[in-house]
Structure 1
Amino acid sequence: MTAADRLAQQKAWNWYDWANSAFFTTVLSVMFAPYMITVAGKAAGCVDADETCSKTVELLGLHLAAGSLPSYLTSFATIASAFLLPVVGAFVDRSHHKKRHMAGYAWAGAAFGSLLFFLEGDNWQLGAVAVVCASILAGCSLVSYYAILVDISTEEERDRASSRGWAWGYLGGGVLLAVNLVMFLAHDTFGLSEGLAVRLSLLSAAVWWAAFTIIPFVKLRDYAPRNQVGVGGSVWTSSFGQLLRTLKDLRNYPMTLTFLVAYLFYNDGIQTVIYAAATYGEKQLKFGTSVLIGTILLIQFVAFGGALLFGRLAARHGAYRLIKAGTFAWMVIVVVALALPEKNVALFLLVAVAIGVVMGGTQALSRSFFSLLIPRGREGEYFALYGAAERGTSWFGTLVFGLTFQITGSYRPAILALIVFFVLGAVFLARLDPVRGIREAGNAVPEPVAGV
């Protein structure tokens, strides 16, 4: 494949970041949780049906507080994904049709996501099933999507391609979120109730996801699996067999394992900072809803530029150096956030800009750098482990944040406690020899990394 062909494939590949990010931003990050709390609160008999509601609803024989229901649903989906994704990855590696897997999971996830439109009144059960299934299927689609990156780019092109994809995703997610927030905040102007505005926003994310997935499905090519180790039986049984072999063989790639552990810690810190930012801004710094909404959009669009910036810098300095620098930048951000005065909008937005730049860069380069540590032909399953490391522990940072607040009664020490995740990530990154890891995986060492 020529350089021009690879670039064309990479541009087509970028569209799936644009497509799926709408679900993660509009649904999982902003709209779903508060609306589900309202609906479940009505079913539980809460007068105001808000997040302070401690009355319970019953789910699978368990009595769960309405105000905590979205957190429980998200936790269940992430834990289920951690067990399911490696099997999906093994199946992807043995298939000639990665793009079909990506699109199939995406369209199934979007179909479940569209059912969130019927989340109204006190009918919360359908929404609970829909968001769990859509979240799991989104994770499954990303396993195939990440694996395709290796097929359409050389080692030297990987950082730039991954960064463009992340940037495209932040832009797409931000555009739809901006439209939906306008519709929500001005719902009376459009003749909509607040509930209908939310439901239309949830539906729009599903439609966006499904519609834009058509572009990479049509334009991407299928690539035959490479370097497969023979395992007897059908595709299904051989997929499970390959999973067991990969878990055993991971010890033969100590640098790959070291990076996974580092990523587990610093990514959990990133996700928790994003999760806690709105709570910290509202409860500790006393900002109103308009400031918080503006901050969310600012981070989304700044992250677009941050991903592109880090992609360019990686061409000179290598992804490994920039990821390490990113963990230290996150430590600085946490310390600065600790010292922010109340109601100082300018400083709060300045920190948001820093978050957007570093978040876009570290996430994009983490994906591309990990791809260099994967043995050829095992991309699907190793990226599944990557996803499992992210999803299986994504609750730990929020737990630390919540426990620290409960012990101290303040969100300032709670936000500071998150620095431990970046410190541990930096410690494991320091123990990593990138050149050794890339060579052990059988890949070519990009020139910027070779100079480490």
Structure 2
Amino acid sequence: MESGALDPVDTAYLRLVKNNIKGWYFYSFSSEPFVVSVVSTYVPLLLEQFARANGVQLENHSRRCTPEHAKCLLPLFNKRLMIDTSSFPLYTFSISVLFQTVVVITVSGIVDCWNSVKFKGNVLVLFSIIGALATIGISRLDTAQFYTLPLLYIIANSCFGVINVVGNSLLPVFSTSLAKFDVSEVEDKLTSIISGRGASIGYSSALLVQLMSMLLINMSKTKVDVQIAVLLVGVWWLIWQCPMIWLFHDLPEQLTTHTEENSNIAPVAERSPYTNLVAKRRLTLKSLTYGWSSLWDAFVHARLLRDVMIFLLSWFIISDAITTINSTAILFSKTELHMTTLNLITISVLTMINAMIGAFVIPQFLSKKLNWLPHRTLIYIICWASFIPLYGMLGFVFDSIGLKHKFEMYILAVWYGISLGGLSAVSRSVFSLIIPKGKESTFFSLFSITDKGSSIVGPFLIGLVTDRTHNIRYAFYLLFALLLLSLPILEMLDVERGKREAQELSQIETSQIERLD
């Protein structure tokens, strides 16, 4: 329906909704380069670079690490702990995800207690500013500040986790509001349209920043070229989040619902200033624990559904392995193949482009053409992805193949990108089939925590393996084993049974509600 056919009130409302959606697009446009560039490429390189600059030789701890020495250790906490320089980024990633998970659960609970687009927009802006400033801070560090680098990265990554969850929570609000004016589109389809456009805008932004980074690095030709690229991402994030300040506004029905729905003390008009203060304090305490109680409720519901638990267990392992492959490959390319920053950014661009192709071709064309069931498609993608660590393991047997040459990394970047995009698209499709209708938000919050939380384990284990062997190639054995481990678990998944159980649970809860009424 065109806005010109609406009365003035509806026209103003529709304009408000569209402005909010534009603000959401700016959130994706401004922040996506951080996870694609900084998390996936630049920070692993910087952490390893800082570790080597402050490291000692493996054979002789009294001698400083030099570029000629491939195996070095980083002394930590006044030499009480010695870790491999390649393990330093991996341990940092593990700790970062742990902090990110705690912060995200807590903040998402606070945000969910406020039925306000403006409040969520303010949270997006606040954490975007903090994350961008922390990213810019990384670009200004000296190699001697190897304790400060992980700290700033943990802050920036936690901020990104918050805005990612808060941003996703706004999608149902926008699709519901927009559906009032376009009766030809259902809410689920509008959600997919808005989400798809946001993802495309985010990927386009990340690709543009990566290309600009390649240009800057090619022009700089200095030892701090990675930090120049990090500075670009931080400034990009800081500048392009600014429009959100003016675009996010509460919709009319949300202006008063927060206080009235969440307070159990007295109507707003009847409260004294002291009573209002007590209400706010109680609400704040409730908000701080709401995210954790919601997560527990989601788990309670999930454990009643056998196939949901099977899927979440398998996805924990799959997500862990797939995510860790990226950081391991970056570190392996840098330390073993001696690839330049420009080479690694090129690999990142190849991965991103092929992830977009995989996300579209596998579910939309390949699985339909070959008539694959969704969970079978997931199994085939994992088998495809398993070739990457398997190929790395071949390097122990052969001298000419098995990631012995730089060009092999470019080929595997294409391979990895296709599997990454396919898994991202198909996993959500499979999960959506086996969860109860009407509880999508609850179950997908559990899916998100499983997805993010799994990244605590993989990097930590790879770090232990690298510390033990001082050869990051051994990490491929662990990654290959994790992917194989997920296959028999996925074979236990029965989507049709999962659908029936989810439907039965929905009917039971509906009956209980009717009896209470």
TM interval, short-chain normalised = 0.7 to 0.9
Asked if the contact 1:266/1:425 (under 8 Å) is kept, the reply is: yes
* Aligned pair partner of 1:119 in 135, 141, 146: 141
Asked if the contact 2:29/2:205 (under 8 Å) is kept, the reply is: yes
- Specify the alignment match of 2:152 in structure 1: 130
Distance of 1:36 and 1:337 partners within structure 2:
23
Q: Is 2:483 the partner of 1:419?
A: no
Aligned pairs for 1:65-104 within 5 A: 67=85, 68-95=87-114, 96-97=116-117, 98-104=120-126
**Closer/same/farther in 2, CA of residues 366 and 207 from structure 1, 3 Å limit:** farther
Asked if the contact 1:306/1:358 (under 8 Å) is kept, the reply is: yes
- Specify the alignment match of 1:17 in structure 2: 28
Distance of 1:94 and 1:378 partners within structure 2:
18
TM-score normalised by structure 2 residue count: 0.68
Distance of 1:310 and 1:151 partners within structure 2:
30
- Specify the alignment match of 2:422 in structure 1: 361
Q: Is 2:45 the partner of 1:34?
A: yes
Distance of 1:374 and 1:210 partners within structure 2:
39
Aligned pairs for 1:216-295 within 5 A: 219=247, 234-239=282-287, 240-241=289-290, 243-244=292-293, 246-253=295-302, 254=305, 255-281=307-333, 286=337, 288-289=339-340, 291-295=343-347
Asked if the contact 1:88/1:143 (under 8 Å) is kept, the reply is: no
Asked if the contact 1:259/1:432 (under 8 Å) is kept, the reply is: no
**Closer/same/farther in 2, CA of residues 312 and 210 from structure 1, 3 Å limit:** farther
Q: Is 2:171 the partner of 1:149?
A: yes
**Closer/same/farther in 2, CA of residues 308 and 336 from structure 1, 3 Å limit:** same
Distance of 2:144 and 2:389 partners within structure 1:
39
**Closer/same/farther in 2, CA of residues 47 and 177 from structure 1, 3 Å limit:** farther
- One-letter amino acid of the counterpart of residue 301, structure 2: N
Distance of 1:387 and 1:202 partners within structure 2:
27
CA-CA distance at 1:356 after TM superposition? 0.9
Q: Is 2:239 the partner of 1:211?
A: yes
- Specify the alignment match of 1:297 in structure 2: 349
- Specify the alignment match of 1:56 in structure 2: 75
**Closer/same/farther in 2, CA of residues 185 and 249 from structure 1, 3 Å limit:** closer
Give the secondary-structure state (helix, strand or coil) at the position aligned to 2:319. Answer: helix
Q: Which moved more, 1:91-100 or 1:322-331?
A: 322-331
Distance of 2:46 and 2:345 partners within structure 1:
16
CA-CA distance at 1:269 after TM superposition? 1.1
Give the secondary-structure state (helix, strand or coil) at the position aligned to 2:455. Answer: coil
Structure 1 runs not aligned, ≥5 long: 444-452
- One-letter amino acid of the counterpart of residue 166, structure 2: S
TM-score normalised by structure 1 residue count: 0.76
CA-CA distance at 1:267 after TM superposition? 0.7
Q: Is 2:219 the partner of 1:186?
A: yes
**Closer/same/farther in 2, CA of residues 174 and 49 from structure 1, 3 Å limit:** farther
Distance of 1:350 and 1:367 partners within structure 2:
27
- Specify the alignment match of 1:446 in structure 2: none
Per-residue displacement from partner, 1:310-348 (whole Å, max 9, x unpaired)? 564599688656444433332344445545545566654
- One-letter amino acid of the counterpart of residue 172, structure 1: S
Asked if the contact 2:135/2:152 (under 8 Å) is kept, the reply is: yes
**Closer/same/farther in 2, CA of residues 125 and 345 from structure 1, 3 Å limit:** closer
Give the secondary-structure state (helix, strand or coil) at the position aligned to 1:298. Answer: helix
Give the secondary-structure state (helix, strand or coil) at the position aligned to 2:214. Answer: helix
Q: Is 2:230 the partner of 1:202?
A: yes
* Aligned pair partner of 1:327 in 382, 395, 406: 382
CA-CA distance at 1:422 after TM superposition? 2.8
CA-CA distance at 1:390 after TM superposition? 3.2
- Specify the alignment match of 2:127 in structure 1: 105
Distance of 1:374 and 1:103 partners within structure 2:
33
Give the secondary-structure state (helix, strand or coil) at the position aligned to 1:120. Answer: coil
Per-residue displacement from partner, 1:103-147 (whole Å, max 9, x unpaired)? 322222112222223302524444343222111111111111222
CA-CA distance at 1:172 after TM superposition? 2.4
Give the secondary-structure state (helix, strand or coil) at the position aligned to 2:172. Answer: helix
**Closer/same/farther in 2, CA of residues 403 and 209 from structure 1, 3 Å limit:** same
Give the secondary-structure state (helix, strand or coil) at the position aligned to 1:265. Answer: helix
Distance of 2:130 and 2:445 partners within structure 1:
19
What RMSD over aligned residues (CA atoms) do the two structures have, in Å? 4.4
**Closer/same/farther in 2, CA of residues 126 and 418 from structure 1, 3 Å limit:** closer
Mark the structure with the bigger radius of gyration.
2
**Closer/same/farther in 2, CA of residues 57 and 319 from structure 1, 3 Å limit:** same
- One-letter amino acid of the counterpart of residue 435, structure 1: K
**Closer/same/farther in 2, CA of residues 437 and 19 from structure 1, 3 Å limit:** farther
CA-CA distance at 1:247 after TM superposition? 0.5
Distance of 2:320 and 2:47 partners within structure 1:
24
Asked if the contact 1:376/1:441 (under 8 Å) is kept, the reply is: no
* Aligned pair partner of 1:435 in 496, 499, 507: 499
Aligned pairs for 1:356-395 within 5 A: 356-366=417-427, 373=435, 379=441, 385-395=446-456
**Closer/same/farther in 2, CA of residues 338 and 149 from structure 1, 3 Å limit:** farther
CA-CA distance at 1:36 after TM superposition? 4.2
Give the secondary-structure state (helix, strand or coil) at the position aligned to 1:32. Answer: helix
Asked if the contact 1:38/1:49 (under 8 Å) is kept, the reply is: no
Distance of 2:385 and 2:92 partners within structure 1:
28
Asked if the contact 1:163/1:310 (under 8 Å) is kept, the reply is: no
Distance of 1:329 and 1:159 partners within structure 2:
27
